[in-house]
Amino acid sequence: MSRDGVVFNEPTTIRAETIISTGTIIGRDNATITLNANSNITTDNIPAPAGINITSTQGNIKTGDVVTNSSDNRAGDIDIVSSSGF
């Protein structure tokens, strides 16, 4: 992933012990973005009109803007779960 970020055109799940992203994670069209980690999750902005799910089972979550609105005024769900905090 470059510093500018990465674009996904299909639903995408990223699983890791810790997730750190310094660029924007973009979901286009029907691409939901799911991030699952046992420890901390740190990201820049995440725009994904189809929906965003972020779960940390034992760590903190820190993100930039998390946005699911689209140009046709539809919005996907945003689900953020952390056992430790935001």
Q: Which residue has the tokens 């820190």?
A: 62
pLDDT at 6: 94
More confident call, 70 vs 25: 25
Residue 3, pLDDT > 60, answer: no
pLDDT at 85: 63
Residue 35's nearest CA partner among 5, 61, 9 is 61
Amino acid in position 50: A
Please state, in angstroms and rounded to a whole number, the distance separating the CA atoms of residues 2 and 21.
9
Domain ranges in the chain?
Answer: 5-82
**Interval 12-67: pLDDT, tens:** 999 999 999 999 999 998 999 999 999 999 999 999 999 999 999 999 999 999 99
pTM of the model: 0.90
Residue 6, CA distances (Å) to 22, 34, 45 in order: 10, 14, 11
pLDDT at 86: 62
Residue 2, pLDDT > 60, answer: no
CA 18 to chain centroid, in Å, comes to 13
Residue 2's nearest CA partner among 18, 32, 19, 25 is 25
